[in-house]
Amino acid sequence: MKFEEKQRQYIKTVEDSLAESIKLENPYYPSLRAAMEYSLMAGGKRLRPVLALAVAEMLEKDIRDVLAFACSIEMIHTYSLIHDDLPAMDNDDYRRGKLTNHKVFGEATAILAGDALLNLAYENMIEDAIASKNSRKLEAMGIIAKYAGAQGMIGGQAIDLDSEGKSIPEDKLKAMHRLKTGALIKAPVEAAAVISGANDNEFRLLSGFAANLGLAFQIKDDILDVEGSMDNMGKKPGSDALSLKTTYVTMYGLEEASNLLRNVTDEGVSYLQSFGERAHFLRDLAISLVKRNS
Amino acid sequence: MKFEEKQRQYIKTVEDSLAESIKLENPYYPSLRAAMEYSLMAGGKRLRPVLALAVAEMLEKDIRDVLAFACSIEMIHTYSLIHDDLPAMDNDDYRRGKLTNHKVFGEATAILAGDALLNLAYENMIEDAIASKNSRKLEAMGIIAKYAGAQGMIGGQAIDLDSEGKSIPEDKLKAMHRLKTGALIKAPVEAAAVISGANDNEFRLLSGFAANLGLAFQIKDDILDVEGSMDNMGKKPGSDALSLKTTYVTMYGLEEASNLLRNVTDEGVSYLQSFGERAHFLRDLAISLVKRNS
């Protein structure tokens, strides 16, 4: 099957499951549910859950074994975007070409919708772990929780916050991205590997792939911020430069950042070698991320 | 042992464990950690974790079996207070006589500190569940997650938000309190019961006790909002009336609300009857909540 067709299949599986998860029945708080749904069902590449499904399938497991966890990671990603866009944080009015959550539902509901999506991620993982009796799911949940928390993604957001309007050293820039973006890209790969019963070597290789993929993703984001257009990004380009953020482009220049992007992607893909033909989707996915224009 | 002495013991156990949990080691985000610690270690009655320890001990189990979960519920409670106090939500400057989190650390860090505490609650429960191999812990985690989420506490906050400045019907007021306050009081009691291996009847009795305790707690809060003084409450009294909130006092009047408080407390305590003398701490705790002046 062609990459794009398989990707569309994975995305549809994820979106059907997300739509199912978000059904809350309570007549008293329709706006909370609407706000959660607005951001969760806003489309996008669904990179994180797609990674989880692809890893499970590559390891010759049923993708339904990892679907709940894959969707929970998308919920965690979505909540982080809602909170990141708030006026007190990045103060963004648009996300993927749509008004941000707080612009539609107000700040208070946006805060609660983010909280509720984070909590729902755990509700669904726990429910799935109880139902499946696969004891590795508890371990996978621990991996996701660590990468999502203060020593993972939230830690990265805190570094980002602390770095605004400042020039920051390279090690801090790298730590920020490793945590803020990288952690939640490693999470679905490692969690799916664990649930699928990957052996130590397979786990190590997949983790290496994911670490490089996360870094490549961030470098590309920084490049797109300079090169991108409003049409493609759904937000104003150059917003990093406007806020005086240190990025891979401000640190290395556009050309060197582009070289770094290629090298990091190549290194990531090299981790997939021993999986052979089975890894073709993950390989194509890594390459598609380098080529993306939004 | 006298009630107050036992309560102090439980509180110390909880606070020692919380202080241990909050130790994050990363040189890059000291302000995030400081903000988390500021609110988590701000003292207070520690009602929710104390309930969990007391239930475990009443069921003749080691309180260490429920300690991690008890502390996680306190983290969830704390995060909800941090977010509730934000300018976009209740816009409170003081909490327990101290400046609120965002007044000290700024709104952005307060949002992240709340997020991080919610996530840390799950990190710690998952870690504890993996270490203990008590399969009931996964079930207990599910109970806590449900009560903390959109169909529990956050749902109650959403109703509250939606009701501000409006007169709301009795069924909605009750649903709001059952979720906003009640859910996170049932959580430690039910979770501790499950972890401690309570049988169905014990679970049902403890759950009934907790439901009434939560309702009594809220009615007392509404009464204190009218009667309380700045010294005791650490926030301006009458703030509910100022924001035109519907409360048990605005709905029933002070005298009828006081009667309701006594009845609900009596009903709660009646659920403890069959536990006999073993339930004395929980009984005394319920009575202390009626008598509290802050």
CATH number of the domain bearing residue A268: 1.10.600.10
**Is B162 within 8 Å of A28 when comparing Cβ atoms?**
yes
Among A115, A159, A173, the strongest candidate for a mutation testing the B interface, having the largest count of B CBs within 10 A, is A115
H helical segments located in A41-133: 47-58, 64-85, 101-105, 107-132
Q: How many cross-chain Cβ pairs, A to B, lie less than 8 Å apart?
A: 155
Q: Binning pLDDT at 50, 70 and 90, where does residue A233 land? A: low
Looking at beta carbons, which residues of chain A come within 8 Å of B170?
none
Average model confidence (pLDDT) across chain B: 92
Domain assignment of residue A101, given as a range = 3-291
Residue-wise pLDDT tens digits, B35-66: 999 999 999 899 999 999 999 999 999 999 99
Cα distance between residue B287 and residue B209, in whole Å? 12
* Residue in B closest to A118 by C-alpha: B119
Q: Is pLDDT larger for residue B290 or for residue A26? A: B290
Of A111, A151, A155, the CB nearest to B83: A111
> ipTM value of the model?
0.94
What is the sign, positive or negative, of the torsion defined by CA atoms of B15, B20, B21, B22?
positive
- Given a cut of 70, whether residue B230 has pLDDT beyond it is no
User: Hey, of B126, B127, B170, B176, which one would you mutate to test binding to chain A, going by the most A CBs within 10 A of its CB?
Assistant: B126
> Can you give the pLDDT at residue A93?
97
Q: Which of A53-57, A190-194, B20-24 has the lowest mean pLDDT?
A: B20-24
- Residue A91 makes CB contacts below 8 A (sequence gap 6+) with A85
C-beta of residue A113 within 8 angstroms of C-beta of residue A29:
no
By C-alpha distance, which of A56, A25, B274, A283 is closest to B282?
Answer: B274
Q: How far apart are CA A241 and CA A245, in angstroms?
A: 6
Judge: B123–A33 Cβ closer than 8 Å, yes or no. Answer: no
Q: Do B149 and A106 touch (CB under 8 A)?
A: no
Nearest alpha-carbon partner for B77 in B104, B48, B103: B48
* Residue B234 pLDDT > 60: no
Chain A interface, best mutation among B86, B119, B135, B153, by max A CB count within 10 A: B119
Count of domains forming chain A: 1
Q: Which of A118-132, A162-176, B229-243 has the highest mean pLDDT?
A: A118-132
**CA–CA min distance B78, chain A (Å):** 13
B120 interaction partners in chain A (CB closer than 8 Å): 149-150
Nearest by CB to A158, from B112, B118, B123: name it. Answer: B112
Q: What is the pLDDT of residues B199-212, one digit of tens each?
A: 999 999 999 999 99
Residue A25 has pLDDT above 80, yes or no: no
Give the residue, B241 or B280, on which the prediction is more confident: B280
| DSSP output for B3-58 | HHHHHHHHHHHHHHHHHHHT----TT-HHHHHHHHHHHTS----HHHHHHHHHHHH
Amino acid at A80: S
